[in-house]
Amino acid sequence: MSTTICQVMGFLVSSLGIAGSIMATAMDTWSTQDLYDNPVTAVFQYQGLWRSCVRQSSGFTECRPYFTILGLPAMFQAVRALMIVGIVLGILGLFVCIFALKCIRIGSMEDTAKANMTLTSGIMFIIAGLCAITGVSVFANMLVTNFWMSTTNMYQGMQNVQNRYTFGSALFVGWVAGGLALVGGIMMCLACKGLIPEESRYKAVSYNASGRNISYRTGPYKSGSGYEADPKTRKGVGYEEAPRSEDGRRPYPSKYDYV
């Protein structure tokens, strides 16, 4: 029962994590304009992974997608790739996990197959969570670097007006979603251990021959061993020993003397 609960909870938590990753990837508020030095402004800017938006004080919002791929920074494209890979792995893990649930019986699927599928989906969820956390963290590091560079230039008088960007709500959604997917994957891996059937253990039994030990040797038979072959059997069927004289010689030649 505990294994089923752990598996179902892992599936639900991972589902929330994957849904959060999709939501974070589609949001446009990965970075928002910093209003610390200018709280009253007529234009508010924020950016996402796929487009940048401008919201005016009148409430009108205009968004413009990025029409270039090669013109974007390499780290920016890496964040995109990490989020997409995490979403794809998460969705595949969800499909595998659905068929691996213990409460769902499909045909004559054994518990061993369900355990392997549960472990596979758990590993997929863990990788998906790590991809989401890594992608969001890389983007946050880019924002921190650009923020302090912009602040340094502003205070040195190199540029009078420069927009600074800070963390948007999509970053926090991505961090939480990656953590949920990671926890769900760990729960699925723990549930895999309970699905493996216990193997039967058999004690080894040694059997010894009840008779005496017999050693087999090559070469001629030894007298008294009890395993000598019968001379008549050794000579073949129809063999008859010819009578011998007192000196040990046959009085007449036998038919076997010519063989």
Calculate mean pLDDT across residues 86-112.
84
217: in domain: no
Residues written for the chain: 259
- Does residue 202 lie in a domain region? no
Q: Is residue 1 assigned to a domain? A: yes
- For residue 254, being part of any structural domain is answered with no
Tell me which residue range forms the domain holding 186.
1-37+72-197
Structural domain includes residue 13:
yes
The answer to which of 58-62, 158-162, 205-209 has the lowest mean pLDDT is 205-209
pLDDT > 60? residue 62: yes
CATH number, residue 180:
1.20.140.150
Q: 212 versus 43: which is more confidently predicted? A: 43
Q: In this structure, is residue 16 part of a structural domain?
A: yes
Structural domain count, the chain = 1
Predicted TM-score (pTM) of the model is 0.69
Query: Has residue 26 been placed in a domain?
Result: yes
Computed on alpha carbons and rounded to an integer, the radius of gyration of the chain in Å comes to 43
Q: Would you place residue 85 in the very low, low, confident or very high pLDDT band (cuts 50, 70, 90)?
A: very high
Band the pLDDT of 93: cuts 50, 70, 90. very high
Cα(187)–Cα(41) distance, integer angstroms:
48
Task: Report yes or no on 94 lying in a domain.
Answer: yes
| pLDDT tens digits, one per residue of 120-162 | 999 999 999 999 999 999 999 998 888 777 666 666 655 555 6
Burial of 173 (0-12, 13-18, 19+ CB in 10 A): buried
